[in-house]
Structures are given as C-alpha cells and as structure tokens.
Structure 1
Amino acid sequence: MASLPIEANPDAITDVELAPVTNTCKQDDPFLVTFAEPFDPDNPKDWRTGRKWAVTDVLSATGFNRIMVSTIMAPALSTIAKEFDMNSAESAMALSIYLLATAFGPLVIGPLSEVYGRKPILHASNVWFLIWNIACGFANSKATLIASRFFAGFGASAIYALAYGVLGDVWRPEQRGRSLGIYLLIPLLGAAVGPIIGGFMADRTTWRWMFWSTSIFQAVMILVSFLSFWETHEPSILRKRAEKIRKETGDSRYYTADERINANKSAARILGRALIRPVRLLAFHPIIQIASLISAFYYGILYIVLSTFSDLWVQQYNQSIEISGLHYIAIALGEIAGSQICAKMMDSLYHRLKARANGEHSPELRTPSIFPGALIGPLGLFLYGWAAAYRWHWIIVDIGVFIALLGMQMTGMPLQAYVMEAYPEHTSSASGASQFLRSLTAFLFPLFAPRMYQALGYGFGNTTIGLIGLAIGLPAPLVIWYYGAKLRAKASSSY
C-alpha cells in the first residue's frame, strides 16, 4: 500500500519517513484515518518546535497590530471630533465601536475555523481587516469612520478565536503556560503601545497616519502569514489525508472521525450547527459562564484604566498628552510581567497537581493558579486609586497600575487555559463565547467610568471595583475546582 503524503503540509518535514496507511488507522477499524502513534509528522502536536513557534509568533505579531488599533486613536479623539463635527457620544463611539465588533466577530469566525480550518480563515480575516483599516484612514465623514471601525474590528476579532484554537492544536497541556506566555508577550504591548504612538502622532502629523501606518504593518503580516503559517486544525488535516488515500487507492471506505460524525448531513446543516455552537456554549454551559464572567470583569477594568489613564495625567497632574502616553508603559509592563510569572507558575503547579492525581490530566488543575492574581489585582487597584486621589508622586500611581495589571493577567491566563482544555475539540468556539462577554465589558465599562470617578473619585472608585473583583475573583475558582468536573460531565455535547 502506498505511503501517505503530507497533504496538509507540502513543505513540511522532509527527513522523516511517512507512516504507511495501515499505521495511521485504528487497529479495530482499518478504514478510520487517524494520526500515527506515537509520532506522526503531520500531527501539529508532533511538529518540530521551530514550526510550532513559527505559527505561534505569526499569531502573536498579528494580534499585536489588531489590539494596538483598538486604542491608537484615543489621543486624537478631540482632533477627529472637531474635524467631523462630532459630539462627545459620537467621538466615544468611534473609539469603542471597534471593541463592540470584537464581541460578535469571534462568534462567527471561531466556528468557521472549525469547519474550514484555521489557515483560510486567518488569511481571509487578515485581508478583511486591512481593507477596512485603510478605509478608516481615508474616511471623510463621521459615519464612514464609525462604520469602517466596526468592520475593521470584526476582522480584527479573528485573533481572539483563532489564537487559542491554534495554541490548543499545536501545544500539549504540559506546555500550556509557556506557550501562552510567549504568545501573549507581544499582543499585551498592543493596548498600551497604541496610545503612546497615537499621542506622538496626534501632535506631529495627521491622525490618518494612525491607520495608514498600522495598515502597512498589517500588509507585511499578511505576507508573513502566507509564507509561515501552516494548517493546524487536526480534522481539516485528516480530511485532506483521507481524501488523498481514497484517491490513491480508489477505495471510498476510508474516512475520518469528523467525517463519520457529519455523515449524511448537508453542508448547510454542518455550518449552521457550527455557527450556533458559541451561543449554545454561553447559554447552557456553566463552565463557560463562570470563566467568562470572571475574565469579562477584569477585561472591563483593563479598558477602564486604558480609557481614563491619559485624562488622569493631563487633568490631575497637568502633564502633556505626549508625556501622559508614556505612563501606559506601566500598564504594558504589568501585563507582560504577569504573563511571564503566570506562565512558569501554571506549568509548575500543573506538573505537581498532575503527579498527585496519579498522572491524570484534568482541566481543573489550572484553577489554583487563578487565586494569586485574584488577590493581587484588587490590591493594585486600591494603591492606584488612593495614590491618584491624593496626587502622590507619579511613580506610586504607576506602581499601583503595574500591580493591578500584573494581577489581572495572572487571573486571565489560567482561565483561558482552563477553557482551552475543557473544550479541546472546539477551543475556538469556546474562546469566541468567552470573548463575547469580555468585549461587551470592554465596550460598556469605559462608558460609565468618567461618571464613576466624578462621583466617587479615584480612591473610592477603584476601591469599589477592587472589592467587586475580590467578591467575584476568589469564590468563582473554588466553584470550578470543586464542581468543574461534574458541570462538564452534565453539560450537553459541544457538537
């Protein structure tokens, strides 16, 4: 019988002998096409480390640009509002409509990647985002700008669904912390770097260059992704393998597990079922609901900080827009430090807890990693709020923000890892469901933040949200730890 070609990766590993067809099928069903055990060069989890990092880094750099675009125009809002005769609500909408779009995009893009594969959806979303981001730079009316921002955000949102799906495809649970830490290293800079770059551009050139410059970067990333990104979705790879076997052997009995599940179903029914999966997960799966609630709250706080931080320095400390943007470095450093500390802590705790569980893997092993961040984050908010309220030295405020963001990042990473491992076959759909609530809070929280600080001040305002964080962030992981397995067992199939 002929050897299997590497259909999904034509330029993949060439120095490894491919397994024969009989070795890639389960022994009890010789026609079921699977990956060979213990090693298959076509299996993304068996790829050489360099290839795994290549696809991870492509997503990381792409994520940086898409997240940076969400905040880069913040320092120029007053200039844009004056040019287009926008009121305060319209100018705020021009900024935040991008985040609203990222709530709905993953609900569609995640399932599509589980039907058609990660690679075509990534390329399509890259081009879509580029087109509409360029349109933002050429907008000649407020309606055009707001509409273009929405469509650009829809395309940018693909990264929230695709990234975690791809990371789940190529990295094993033992490598989850490190892979998440390296992936997040660059995108975490995006939200903070955006206002810094935007502040300098607002003073030195036209606001349109904010979109043109990020579009140039996006065009480069499209080229890189075409050259460096390979398909990672296992069912898509196996389907191509099965098609090749059927063609070479002339035997139509070869099939994959995914093809068996979808046998006798029309393409429309398969697609429709996939598209409603994130909504079903969010509506009927307590695991998704609990994880989404915690991460959405902290994500909303992040955007409260991002949207009000510049005003704090300009109004309370009488600093220029350019200098106020530099304080966002504290936000970026906090998130980066949190991701790297949490990455090591996650993997270390996972290995210890797995050993105590006699080597058995369970998604619930991720939950103990949530508690340190759930405690540290609110403490940082308290320091930030009261230091700002009493106008202490700027370094104390920045230290408070650093601690707050460090804690929030240490809370978010284990939650994301838990969702990935609780829904390994539909990670993109599960991530899309979680992102829906996160994006909604990122859109809504900044709308009430100015009034909250006006009414309560920075001290009591941050104390309030910090106490809510403690009330949510500490008990919820306990629910997952003690009842997560039971809740997962009772949940209906994610198919």
Structure 2
Amino acid sequence: MSGNLNDPVRRTRRDSASLSSQASGDVEVPIKDLDHKDIDADREPPYSSDVRYEYLEFETALPAYATTHIHADAPQPPNLRNYESPFSWSSSRKTVVLILCTFATFCAAYSAGTYSMAKEPLMAKWGIGTVAFNVGVTTWCLGFGIAPMFLAPFSEINGRKPVFIISCVVFVAAQIGCALTDSFAGMLVARFFVGGSASTFSTIIGGVLADIYHKEDRNTPMAIYSGGALAGTGMGPFLSGFIIGRVSWRWVFYHQLFLDGILLAAMFFFLKETRGSVLLSRRAKALNTYFEALEKSEHFPPPTEKPTSDTYQPTHLIRYRVLADEQRSSIQRMIYLSTTTPFKLLSTEPVVFFFSLWAAFAWATLYLTLPAIPLVFTARHNFDVQENGCVFISLTVGAIVGALLSIYQEKAARKWWPHLLEQPEGRLYFACLESALLPIGLFWFGATSSSHIHWISPVIALGVAQVGIFSIYLAVFNYLADMFNGLGFLGASCLLGGVGALLTLVPWVLVFNGERIRRRSKIAREIMEGPG
C-alpha cells in the first residue's frame, strides 16, 4: 500500500479487514466486509468490488446516489445541508451566530463589572480593605487569561458548540456560587471560575467568526462582537448600581442568572457548529454510514444517473476520510502547544509582543476603571452607589460609538481606498489616529477630576478613552487574525496617559515597518502564504 497521502488507497473485499495509514501513523481502522448482493456485471456502469478511500473536502464531487433517494425501500441518504461549509451559509444563518456570539461576549463582560458595585456591603461583611476586595477582579482576570489555553484544543477536536455549552453551564454554576457564598475565599474561587468560563465567549468566539466569514468580510462582525464585549463592561456596573441600592448584594449575582440562563438556552437550541474540520468529519461519517447501508441493500448498485456539476457516476465503492483527522496531534500535545506557544510568540515575534503590550495596557486601563470610578466620583462629587453606576454608562456609549465608527470606516476604505486593505497593516491606519483617544481621554479625566469641575467632563473623558480602547481591541484582533491613591487622581491618570501616549506609537511603527518586520518573521510568512 502506498504511503502517499495524495493517492487514493484501494482495498479489495478479500483484504478489506483493516486499513493502516502509514504516512500519518494512525492506528489500524477496521472496515467491515461489504456484505451486499453480487454486482450485476451487465449493469452500467460496471462496478468494481474495490473500495477506494478518498480524502473529503466540502467541494468534493460526490457519487450521484449520495444525494438522491434511489428507491422508497432504499436507505435514506444523509441531509448534507447539516454539514455544509460555514463559509457558504446564508447571511441570515450567519447573522444568528453573530447575534449569539455578541450576546455571549456581552454577558461575559457584564459579569466582570458587576462585582465592583458590591464593594461596600462585601467589605463590611468580611471586614476587608479595598486592596483585598479588588483581588476579586484579579481572580476573574486570572481565570479569563488561563482557561483559553486549555479550552482551545477541545474546540478544535470536538467543535465550538460543546465547549460553549459546557462553559455556559460552568458560568451559571459559578454565578450561583458568587451569590450563595458566605466567605471571601469562596467568592474568590467562584470569581475565578466565572472569569474562566467567560473567557470562552471572548476568545473562542473570535475563531467562530473566522469560521464563517472570509477575512475581507470580517471587520463588521468583529466590530459588532468587540462592541458587545466593551459595552457589557459598562452596562454591568450601571444596572448593578441600582440593584445594590435597593436589595441585598446577592442580587448583583442573582439577576445575572436570568441573562446567563437565556444565553445557555439560546446556545443549546440555536447555535450551529461552525468548526469546518469538525463538520467535514461528520459529513464523511454520515456518507460512509449511508454507503455501507446502501451496499448491503438490494438496491445496490443504483441505476445510472446523469452526473451534475456536483456529482459523478463512480465505478468503484467509496469511503471518505478527512486529512485533518489524520494529521491532528494528541490532546496532550495540543494542550502543550496551546500553553507554550503564546509565551514562545511573545518572546520571539516582535509583532505579537508589541501588539500584546498595546492590547494589555488597553485592557488594564479598562479594568482599572471598575474600582477607580466609584473612588473618584465618591471622593470628588459625593456620588452614591447608584450615581456611580450611571457613570459606567459612558463606557457602553463609547463602545457603541467605536463600533459604529469602525463599520463606517471599513465601508469608506473599501470605496475610496481599497488598496489600503490589501495588507494586514491596512487594519491599522484608522487605529493610528483613534488609539490616541485613549491617552487623550486619560489626560482629560485626570485634569477634570477635581470637585470644582462639573462631573460631566470626566464622564465624557471616560467615553472618549473607551473609543480609543475599542480601536486598539479591534485593531489587535483583526491584525493578528490576518497575520490611583499614591499618585493622586491627576498623577495616576497622567501616568497612564503617558504610557498610553508612548504605546500609541505602536501602530505607526507597524504601518511604516510592518512589512519588513513580517518578512523577518517565519510564522508571519507562513500565515500570509497559507489559505485565507
């Protein structure tokens, strides 16, 4: 038997007991003897009793009888619409997935911000200080950062949907834990699992959008998804501020169970699998099962049918395999690569390092606002918990403005400057300007945080900074996918603004030197040369 993966493998009925793929090192795959009626030699076309093993792709032409019910008593062919390439889905079907993904990432971000609004009652309950209380934000972020490295391999093997469903269940259970716990340690553990399960909705969802949209169509879905992520961060504290002012702190977590329950039900009933390799494996299995059943029936070989553009009339028996299944590493190896590759890329790839630094600062600034807003507006403007919650709505407004701006910019660029989007650096031109809104907003916030200045000014500054954070978040996602007490309010804000101003140079450097940097990067070259 040839070990060449590009050649079909033939087996006769006499020696069809097993198949061993030498090239891929797979274990033997037993094939059942084909116990069908003798083939009529006078029937056209003449069928060979050989079994040909072919690699299946979504574009592979199928035997005519694979899609046609040849007789009322014959086995029913599989409904291949259930195993179509996600790229070929209708716009409405893709929109349903996009809505579910946006709602999921909104719920994930929502859970991050609600905790800070329960500060006063929880500090009083457990007798802890502000620093200790804020560890609850840290544990959420730790879970959020660690979990994807272990969850991503399972989504590649088993598909996106099972990982989402399991994450939703853990998400709901962890929220119940937050609501019921009577200890600070219990809260920290529950917050870790809330962040870990929520990470699925903010990391793997990027892969879901890449599963169903080609890169030239990806900006608008990514903008909507990113807007949901950042809008949820502001909406959580906004609504929780009203809750904490009226009922027990536990309802800060109880009310999220309503949203999370809706999310779990929607994911279970309406989310379709989007991972192409998983769907292709299911397609191959369904076809092979049907072929085996048909060959054992009295209706095989089927009558000759005129081939179409998608079918042909074979002269042999067919079994399909999927190349990705044979080339896939073990789960242990995949987890190892998933947990080590990020650190390898950070230490060897300048593009990844500086973009990660840029995005990390933007995210750190975003989560710093969660405890900072109540601190500033309570001290300077005597805001109560509900009024502090209302300040957070500026983050949601900023996210919505950023998303709308990004969608408009993409359309304008395609109309007036289509050449800008031919290279990955084309994703950065608008970010070069808009990312400056982050340090501008931080300087503005710090300079207007005094009690004698109207509170609306720092609120607007937060919204401006959020637009800058959004532009960074979206630019990093798109680019890589294609390739306060010690210093005082003014001092802390200006320090962050200064760091943000320095990091604003990152997209400018990549715009003018990105092509040269990518040429020096082995991984970037492989990504650019691979299929889009």
> Do 1:246 and 1:253's aligned partners in 2 also have CA atoms closer than 8 Å?
yes
Aligned match of 2:251: 209
Equivalent residue of 1:254, what SS? strand
Cα 1:354/1:486, change in 2 over 3 Å: farther
Cα 1:391/1:255, change in 2 over 3 Å: farther
Q: 1:388 aligns with which of 449, 461, 477?
A: 449
Aligned match of 2:366: 302
Q: 1:170 aligns with which of 196, 212, 215?
A: 212
C-alpha separation in 1, matches of 2:210 and 2:380: 45
Cα 1:222/1:90, change in 2 over 3 Å: same
Q: 2:408 aligns with which of 341, 344, 348?
A: 344
Cα 1:90/1:156, change in 2 over 3 Å: same
C-alpha separation in 2, matches of 1:397 and 1:222: 37
Q: CA RMSD in A?
A: 2.7
> Do 2:237 and 2:392's aligned partners in 1 also have CA atoms closer than 8 Å?
yes
Which sections of structure 1, spanning at least 5 residues, go unmatched?
Answer: 1-28, 423-448
How far is the alpha carbon of 1:274 from its aligned partner?
Answer: 4.7
How far is the alpha carbon of 1:104 from its aligned partner?
Answer: 0.6
Pairing 1:374–2:417 present: no
> Do 2:378 and 2:388's aligned partners in 1 also have CA atoms closer than 8 Å?
yes
C-alpha separation in 1, matches of 2:214 and 2:344: 27
Aligned match of 2:509: 478
- Point out the structure with the larger helix share: 1
Q: Aligned letter for 2:515?
A: Y
Cα 1:257/1:370, change in 2 over 3 Å: farther
Pairing 1:458–2:519 present: no
Aligned match of 1:134: 176
1:451-490 deviation per Cα after TM superposition (whole angstroms, max 9, x unaligned): 3xxx2x3333322222221211223442363335314445
Cα 1:276/1:234, change in 2 over 3 Å: farther
Q: 2:102 aligns with which of 60, 63, 77?
A: 60
What is the number of equivalent residue pairs in this alignment?
431
Aligned match of 2:321: 255
> Do 1:114 and 1:233's aligned partners in 2 also have CA atoms closer than 8 Å?
yes
> Do 1:105 and 1:154's aligned partners in 2 also have CA atoms closer than 8 Å?
yes
Identity among equivalent pairs (%):
22
Equivalent residue of 1:73, what SS? helix
1:39-89 deviation per Cα after TM superposition (whole angstroms, max 9, x unaligned): x96111111111111111112112222211112121221211221233433
C-alpha separation in 2, matches of 1:259 and 1:301: 42
Cα 1:477/1:280, change in 2 over 3 Å: same
> Do 2:402 and 2:470's aligned partners in 1 also have CA atoms closer than 8 Å?
yes
TM-score (norm 2): 0.75
1:81-128 deviation per Cα after TM superposition (whole angstroms, max 9, x unaligned): 221233433322123311221111122222321222111101110001
Question: Quick check: which has more Rg, 1 or 2?
Answer: 2
> Do 1:108 and 1:275's aligned partners in 2 also have CA atoms closer than 8 Å?
yes
> Do 1:175 and 1:347's aligned partners in 2 also have CA atoms closer than 8 Å?
no
Aligned match of 2:118: 76
1:368-405 deviation per Cα after TM superposition (whole angstroms, max 9, x unaligned): 23201222222222222111147411222222222121
Equivalent residue of 1:206, what SS? coil
Pairing 1:189–2:220 present: no
Aligned match of 1:403: 464
Q: 2:279 aligns with which of 220, 223, 237?
A: 237
1:263-306 deviation per Cα after TM superposition (whole angstroms, max 9, x unaligned): xx545445544554444444443332222111111111112223
C-alpha separation in 2, matches of 1:49 and 1:82: 52
1:336-381 deviation per Cα after TM superposition (whole angstroms, max 9, x unaligned): 1012102321353356555468xxx432321223201222222222
1:391-442 deviation per Cα after TM superposition (whole angstroms, max 9, x unaligned): 41122222222212112212221221112222xxxxxxxxxxxxxxxxxxxx
Q: Aligned letter for 1:329?
A: I
Aligned match of 2:68: none
Name which of structure 1's ranges 328-337 and 481-490 shifts more when overlaid on structure 2. 481-490
Equivalent residue of 1:393, what SS? coil
1:205-231 deviation per Cα after TM superposition (whole angstroms, max 9, x unaligned): 111111111012211211111111001
Q: Aligned letter for 1:227?
A: F
Q: Aligned letter for 1:383?
A: W
C-alpha separation in 2, matches of 1:275 and 1:490: 17
The 5 Å alignment of 1:352-363 reads 354-355=418-419, 361-363=422-424
1:304-354 deviation per Cα after TM superposition (whole angstroms, max 9, x unaligned): 223211221111012222112211112211121012102321353356555
Q: Aligned letter for 1:394?
A: W
Name which of structure 1's ranges 171-180 and 49-58 shifts more when overlaid on structure 2. 171-180
TM-score (norm 1): 0.80
Q: 1:333 aligns with which of 397, 400, 404?
A: 397
Cα 1:316/1:420, change in 2 over 3 Å: same
